[in-house]
Structure 1
Amino acid sequence: MTTAMTRPLTVTARITTTDTAFTPAAYTATVYLNTARHSFDGYQHHHPLAEATHPDGSPLRLVFHASDRIRDHEAAADAAYTVGNRQGADDNGQTWPADIRSVSVGDTIKVTGPDHWIVHLSVDHTGFSAVPQPSHLTDLAGSRASSRR
């Protein structure tokens, strides 16, 4: 003998989420060029800095995905330094603009990590040093040509 059973209705639906599990974690680096005269001795808190921008004036943001190579803020700053010295591109294929001088000692690099922590690092003769957020920002457009060293 068989017994009749009714099955509950099922609905199948695709739900698109903004889950970050599929988005690669990334570090974003912003370079601030030191526009003070004789800044090769290193960054000082009173030095004026200009944010590196594209030729059209839009902000230049270098992106590096977290990986075995990029594990922390300092590794991301080192990768930005490399791109800033025209040695390759960031993880989105972006290269350093031709009309901006290379990244040098005395400049600073702001790195925002995948954890949203922001670290400001000065470019030193050997590596980087953490510094407070720069407060003396100037416009790069006016000093684009004159900031070449």
Structure 2
Amino acid sequence: MTTTVTRPHTVTARIDSPDSTPAPAVYTATVYMNTARHSFDGHQHHHPLAEATRPDDSPLRLVFHASTRIRNHEDAADAAFTVGNHQRPDDNGQRWPTDIRSVSVGDVIKVTGPGHWIIHLSVDPTGFSAVPEPTNLTALAGTRATSRH
């Protein structure tokens, strides 16, 4: 004798938890202020540079999430330039410290992108150009002012 058994229908669903959502790609920018006298002519490899820091002297790292606005390292450098000129905060709401001069021609912006790929970009009169990693780093003294030289 055979007996009929009714099975309930099985439904399989994928439920994404907040932990399984991939984080957006992130670009981090570090600004090195050119402390050479008369550096408005642009960055030179022998110019001394000082890393921009927060008022408590901790490193200032600007964060930008990959988006239609931030597609590459140069876009992230441009966004850092904008933050460094008090035009807006970074993507985490961090603003440029008021006791550091604005980002200017001759400064260098280090951008670390997705996959930890790093490039150093000199702020030029019209855009950016790639430069070697700075080696002539100095203390921030002299750049914690609202005016230049």
Q: TM-score range by the shorter chain?
A: 0.7 to 0.9
Aligned match of 2:127: 127
The corresponding residue for 2:30 is 30
Cα shift readout 1:33-86 (whole Å, capped 9, x = no counterpart): 000000000000000000000000000000000001100000000000000000
Provide TM-score, normalisation by structure 2. Answer: 0.85
SS at match of 1:22: coil
Name the counterpart of 1:8: none
Distance in 1 between residues matched to 2:43 and 2:146, nearest whole Å: 15
Deviations along 1:90-146, one digit per CA (max 9) or x if unpaired, are 000000000000000000000000121100000000000000000000111x22446
Residues 100 and 145, structure 2, Cα contact 8 Å, conserved in 1:
no
Q: Percent identity?
A: 72
Secondary structure of the 1:143 match is coil
Match in the other structure for 1:39:
39
The aligned amino acid for 2:111 is: V
How far off its partner does 1:17 sit?
10
Mapped partners of 1:71, 1:145: distance in 2: 31
Matched, 1:118 2:112: no
Taking the aligned partners of 1:117 and 1:136, their CA distance within structure 2 comes to 22
Distance 2:91 2:69 in 1: 12
Query: In structure 2, what is the Cα distance between the partners aligned to 1:147 and 1:49?
Result: 17
Given that 2:109 and 2:121 are in contact with CA atoms closer than 8 Å, whether structure 1 keeps it comes out as yes
Name the TM-score, length of structure 1 as normaliser.
0.85
C-alpha separation in 2, matches of 1:29 and 1:18? 26
Provide the residue aligned with 1:103 in structure 2: 103
Where does structure 1 lack aligned partners over 5 or more consecutive residues?
A: 5-15
Secondary structure (helix, strand or coil) at the match of 1:80 reads helix
Match of 2:142 in 1: 143
SS in 2 for 1:115: helix
The answer on whether the counterparts of 1:35 and 1:48 sit within 8 Å (CA) in structure 2 is yes
Measured at CA, do residues 135 and 68 of structure 1 come closer, stay the same or move farther in structure 2, by a change above 3 Å?
same
For residues 84 and 145 of structure 2, the distance between their equivalents in structure 1, rounded to whole angstroms, comes to 18
Quick one: distance in 1 between partners of 2:127 and 2:115?
23
